[in-house]
Amino acid sequence: MSSFKPIKQKKASEEVFEQLRLAIFDGKFVVGDKLPSERELIESFQVSRTVVREAVKGLEASGLVQIKQGATGGAFVKEMNFEVVSSACHDLFFLGRMSFDEICETRFVIEPQVARLAARHCTPEIAEQLLAAEAEEAEVLQYPETVHARQKVHVILADACENRLLGAMAKSMLDLVSNITFKFEPDTNEIHPPGLHKRIVEAVIARDEDAAEAAMKEHLGTFLELLQNVENDYRKSNS
């Protein structure tokens, strides 16, 4: 007898939001397509302009569409890429929901596998990029403003692993670590001596998956542990 319907009084804008979202998922609007204009949506959904605008605004906040104004404006379905997971991770850390240790651990888990996959899919072009990055790295090591040069190898590997999700995760963690450690500027030469990437690069180019994974593991093992200690001290002295 109690099998009556639970009348879901969903908010109108949520309803519109969901329907538009589903339509995009269903491929009724593909990348580059323009959603119906506000006026048309008002007609279709029989709601006020406020409701429509809130719904479309929600789509924009979700990264699904981009809104342009003007005569040829409207809400255009955006090319969604793997940056969404990166920015989600970014938010989680800066809201204090994710610890530095978790970031390091995640790097330690993912990057060796990324190196393995990169070794599996290594092409001559990738090899060239890796060698160039490593040469540059050794060259500019004395200039402290070129810290980012030391990340190039990691970025190249992330792109070369041919798994965009894992690549995005790796790059995101890398980004967070360097953002955080930038604050207390450790002696990078000590914490990250030159030549540390050499074995990784060699293994990847040789397409030796096991060696690539092992080399990355060893690299991150010493490197991240040092960083975690430094970060720990830094946090303690600031509280």
Name the residues that contact a second copy, by CB under 8 A: 13, 17, 24-25, 27, 50, 53-54, 57-58, 60-64, 80-82, 84-85, 88-89, 91-92, 94-98, 102-103, 105-106, 109-110, 113, 117, 163-166, 169
| Phi, psi dihedrals of residue 235, rounded to the nearest 5° | -65, -40
Q: Which is nearer to a second copy, 141 or 216 (CB)?
A: 216
Amino acid type, 171: K
Buried-exposed string 145-157: b where 16+ CB fall within 10 A, e elsewhere: eebebbbbbbbbb
Which of a second copy, DNA, none does residue 95 bind (CB under 5 to 8 Å by kind)?
Answer: a second copy
Sequence-distant (6+) residues with CB within 8 A of 79 are 31, 32
Site string for DNA, 74-113 (x = CB under 7 A): xx--------------------------------------
Stretch that binds DNA, among 18-26, 49-57, 81-89, 132-140 (CB under 7 A): 49-57
Is residue 72 at the binding interface for DNA, with CB under 7 A as the rule? yes
Separation between Cα atoms, residue 128 and residue 215, nearest integer Å: 19
Which of a second copy, DNA, none does residue 181 bind (CB under 5 to 8 Å by kind)?
Answer: none
Closest CA relative to residue 33, chosen from 81, 76, 80: 76
Minimum separation from the CB atom of position 52 to DNA (A): 8
Closest CA relative to residue 24, chosen from 80, 70, 72: 80
